[in-house]
Structure formats: C-alpha cells, structure tokens
Amino acid sequence: MVFELLKLNIHVTDEKFNTIYPTGIRRLSEKHWTPVSVAKAASEFLVTSPGTRVLDIGSGAGKFCMVGAVHTNGFFTGIEQRAELVELTQNLSNKYSLDNIEFIHANITSINFNQYQAFYFYNSFYENIDFDNKIDDSVLLNTGYYKAYTKYTLDQLAILPGGTRLATYWAADKFIPHGFDLVESLYDGHLNLYMKQSYE
C-alpha cells in the first residue's frame, strides 16, 4: 500500500512506511534510515532525466532507494556492507515489484563512481566513530575505517565530471568534495544539495 500511495504522490508517514520492515529494523529507523520526506526531496534533485543512475552510499535498510525509485524515474543502486540488510532490501524490492532498483553487498572502496551520475550520502561511515549508535555487531568498526572510507568517497567524487549531483543528509561540514557547489540547503541545514562545477 505505501508504494501505491507514493506513486500517487500521496503523503506517507515514516511510521506507515516502516511497517514494511521487521520489528528490529523498524526500531532503527529514527536514527539510521532516511525519512520519507527527505528521500523524496533528495531524489527529486538527484534525478534529472529518466534512468539517471543514483548511488546510495551505505544504503542500510534501503529506504532512500525504495522511496526514490517509486517517486522518480531514476535507477537507484544501494551499496551496503551488511549481507543481512542487502538480503532484506532485495527481498522487499522484489516483493513490491520495484524494477528500477538494485542492492549490492560490498564495501564502498570497491565501487567505481564513474558508473553513476548522482549520489546520496547519509553519513553512513559515522558509526565507525560513534559506537553507542551502531546498527549491530556484524561488521568491524574503527576510526581508521571512518577516515579511509571518507577519503575514498571524497577522492572519487572529486574526479567526476561537471554536472554530477550529490545530496548529503546529516553529514559533517567537511564532507564537501572539491569542485561541488551548494545549490540548496533544506531541513534546517541537514539536507544539503550540491552540483559539480562544469569544467572550464
């Protein structure tokens, strides 16, 4: 039902959307999964034409990708290092016949950003330095990973062509790759929309 409502651009609360998840995943929503309204705003900015390829860096329970896939005509890829979450999101996208979406079980450092035109980042590396709010114990966390993943992501974004779009949610101010300009700031400055400068 929630996806039919989203397709009709009818308001869906987070409480309603989260009923698609098992109880344990639902409990993590407020801190770890993107709100529906934020996902809609970010995906509208990121998708500029049919088939725009959007990468969600650390897709978790797949909420951003699923909302974006229904709300726009882009193609959404979620990269997630927890196998259980990837299996869950794959099953949900199949169950609800979401065809313009995929989820990949991998580490961000194995992804070639050149395959995508737009990117979403909800501070997915932060649990490496905030152990009190980690998702679970299934992956090894440490501050070294936070620095390495952040550097890799920023380096990859910095070499992409002009016109590349990026949306960040609750990301540190320093998470602004070289050459990207702020286009708009929403939700009290927590959702920031950027575009890569065109080459001279």
Which of these, 169, 185, 197, 19, lies nearest to 92 by C-alpha position? 19
Residue 200: the pLDDT is 47
Strand partners, 184: 193
| Distances in whole angstroms, Cα of residue 126 to Cα of each of 78, 121, 134, 141, 174 | 17, 11, 9, 10, 13
Domains of the chain: 2-196 (3.40.50.150)
| Distances in whole angstroms, Cα of residue 85 to Cα of each of 24, 58, 193 | 12, 11, 27
How many percent of the chain have pLDDT more than 70? 96
Strand partners, 169: 191
Residue 157: the pLDDT is 95
Q: Which stretches of the chain drop beneath a pLDDT of 70?
A: 131-132, 174, 199-200
Residue 199: the pLDDT is 58
Task: Name the 3-class secondary structure at 165.
Answer: strand
Residue 131 contacts by C-beta under 8 Å, 6 or more apart in sequence?
A: 141
Structure pTM? Answer: 0.94
